Amino acid sequence: MNLPIKAFSVLLLIFSLTCTDPKVEKNEKLKSFLWEKGIDINQYSSILVLTEESCPACSHSFASLLEKQIENKKSLLIISARGTLVDISMFLKAEAEENILYDWKLELKKLEIHNDLNAIFLDKQGAIDTIVAIRAKGLQSTLAYISNRLEE
């Protein structure tokens, strides 16, 4: 190989190693976060994240949806709320449930995997398939979509 082709090949290799697929990066961050908490992501088909950083109506509505999922062992509920703006007492009462993770230090937010309230649906390999953000606009249709996906 001549020198320009070698140089181009080396640059191409370096460039491909530094470029990371954002979806793969999110998967790795999420798996690492859960592994540190002793949670095997492969046992879940969805991860539902409750925060207090969205509109109050959104947080309250999503908390109600999550309450119905407390006994759904296929859904991991991550409570990244302290209960000041949204009632989390129903999750605290269900403390023994293995599918509830309390993120009091808001560590998940620091990983920048999600924004505010989210339903994260996983594929059969435990990788992120879909992230559904919950916003005030279209709230009811978004919650209906999430409910339907959780029933699958």
In which band, very low, low, confident or very high, does the pLDDT at 14 lie, cut at 50, 70 and 90? very low
Residue at token pair 């594929």: 123
HSE-up (13 A, CA, CB side) for residue 64: 8
pLDDT digits (tens, 9 = 90+) for 67-122: 999 999 999 999 988 888 899 999 888 767 789 999 888 888 887 766 678 899 99
SS3 state of residue 75? strand
Q: What integer pLDDT is reported at residue 6 of this predicted model?
A: 56
- pTM, 2 dp: 0.80
Q: Which amino acid is at 19?
A: C
Q: What integer pLDDT is reported at residue 11 of this predicted model?
A: 45
Q: What integer pLDDT is reported at residue 112 of this predicted model?
A: 75
CA dist., res. 51 & res. 49, Å (int): 7
Any idea what DSSP says for residue 138?
T
